[in-house]
């Protein structure tokens, strides 16, 4: 069972931000560069989160869930099943 689109968007947005904060904190501890690593990686996470949410809107052909198996086959939708003969 798949997740609702709104919940999927929350995970796509929050995941990179959380990872950016933790990675930035680790880099700050490693390089003694407080707070620049955390700030940089947090902004990187925010940008990555926005991109992962907005990418399907700008490039829908690259985010097809069921791609065709051969070049001559087109993806089928549920709308095709409801067309009367």
Q: Measured on CA atoms in the order 27, 32, 33, 38, is the torsion positive or negative?
A: positive
CA–CA gap between residue 38 and residue 24 (Å, rounded)? 4
Q: Which of 63, 62, 84, 66 is nearest to 75 (CA)?
A: 66
The tens digit of pLDDT for each residue in 53-68 reads 888 888 877 765 666 6
Tell me if the pTM is above 0.75.
Answer: no
Domains: count for the chain: 1
At residue 69, φ and ψ (nearest 5 deg) are -80, -25
The CA–CA distances, whole Å, from 76 to 17, 19, 31, 34, 35 equal: 35, 37, 52, 52, 50
Position 64 in a domain: no
The domain in which residue 28 lies consists of: 1-53
Residue 45 falls inside a structural domain: yes
Helices (H) and strands (E) in the chain, counts: 2, 0
In a domain, 13, yes or no: yes
Structural domain contains residue 71: no
For 8-39, the pLDDT digits (tens) are 888 888 999 999 999 999 999 999 988 999 99
């Amino acid at each position: 069972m798949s997740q609702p689109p709104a919940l999927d968007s929350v995970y796509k947005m929050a995941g990179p931000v959380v990872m950016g904060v933790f990675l930035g904190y680790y880099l700050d501890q490693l390089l003694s560069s407080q707070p620049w690593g955390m700030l940089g990686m947090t902004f990187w996470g925010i940008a990555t989160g926005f991109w992962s949410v907005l990418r399907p809107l700008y490039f829908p052909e690259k985010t097809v869930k069921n791609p065709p198996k051969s070049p001559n086959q087109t993806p089928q939708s549920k709308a095709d099943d409801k067309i009367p003969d």
